[in-house]
Structure 1
């Protein structure tokens, strides 16, 4: 849902999930390795890092002037002012997370640019 809203995949970390945080003897964790720190003291909780869209406004899927996405062999087009959309608000990001989180859980959200 966040990927559809912002065109950027979020980072989701569940502290009780070894696949997210590693563990002793696990291939995805160890000393000196970057990653999340897990804890069984945080059951039914998750941390989500949601990202704002790269473009704050414009027409979805269409490059603008001075954009490296345009060029020969790349689809382009003209648009009208009615297709211009405002950026995604923080409230819309929080609402998207709230709409898909399981009941009885706590989801901590950080919004990054």
Structure 2
């Protein structure tokens, strides 16, 4: 049986830093990943019950200013999300920007 060690507490190097301890979750043996920080604003455009576009930006950034993290969702005929694409632009230009 192989020995698995916490990557944030290397053997012989002491304890993990406070930041390392906060991001590593030993219950699932993984690093927690937070996509959107809590100090950001979020906007959503819906079509019926489905979100078509989600946008995230620093609090206070205007909707016409570039710097928004934009997500575009595509749905199948049953209304299930099948594709999420990302771009960076202004919220106002969400329908015009190029997504990857």
Q: TM-score per shorter chain, which class?
A: under 0.3
Please report the TM-score for the alignment, with normalisation by the length of structure 1: 0.22
Pick 1 or 2: higher relative contact order, CA cutoff 8 A, min separation 6: 1
Please report the TM-score for the alignment, with normalisation by the length of structure 2: 0.24
Q: Relative to total residues, which structure has the larger strand share, 1 or 2?
A: 2
